[in-house]
Amino acid sequence: MDILAGMKLEKLDKSLVDATEALAGKLVGFYFSAHWCPPCRGFTPILKDFYEEVNEEFEIVFVSSDRSESDLKMYMKECHGDWYHIPHGNGAKQKLSTKYGVSGIPALIIVKPDGTEITRDGRKDVQMGTNPKAIIAKWKD
């Protein structure tokens, strides 16, 4: 995925991994969200449950709109799954927002391993779906 080439993604435990390695062969959900956003705080636990069922085929990259690194970390600790995030202040946030046309949060953009967009309505699919594996199969079609 060119936009993340050479970037290190971080987990809550502060471990860093090369983005290309972390996302290789998986569908990716870019999750645009923030701690201060009430709709985000409502959707994040739903996304966490979804992720726990399909994380062998699907990876989430949290793209934070939080105002500080401490807000980002607090939000992840409170209700996120064990997924990656772009380190606070990294310019990739704006590049991803522009590339995928994100104008509001929460937003969940689903892409193929090469970065090709599958849907900008990942949030709707996850919220309305009852079978995470069927949603992943739909995204793979």
Please tell me the total count of domains within the chain. Answer: 1
For 71, half-sphere exposure in the C-beta direction (CA atoms, 13 angstrom radius) is: 14
Q: Specify if 116 maps to a domain.
A: no
Q: Model's pTM, two decimal places? A: 0.94
CATH number at residue 56: 3.40.30.10
Q: Specify if 127 maps to a domain.
A: no
Predicted local distance difference test score (pLDDT) of residue 110: 98
Under 8 Å between Cβ of 24 and 103:
no
Residues of the chain with pLDDT under 70: 1
Measuring CA to CA, which residue among 105, 117, 94, 98 is closest to residue 27? 117
pLDDT digits (tens, 9 = 90+) for 60-80: 999 999 999 999 989 999 988
Predicted local distance difference test score (pLDDT) of residue 109: 98
Integer-rounded Cα Rg, in Å, for the chain is: 14
Domain that holds residue 43: 2-106
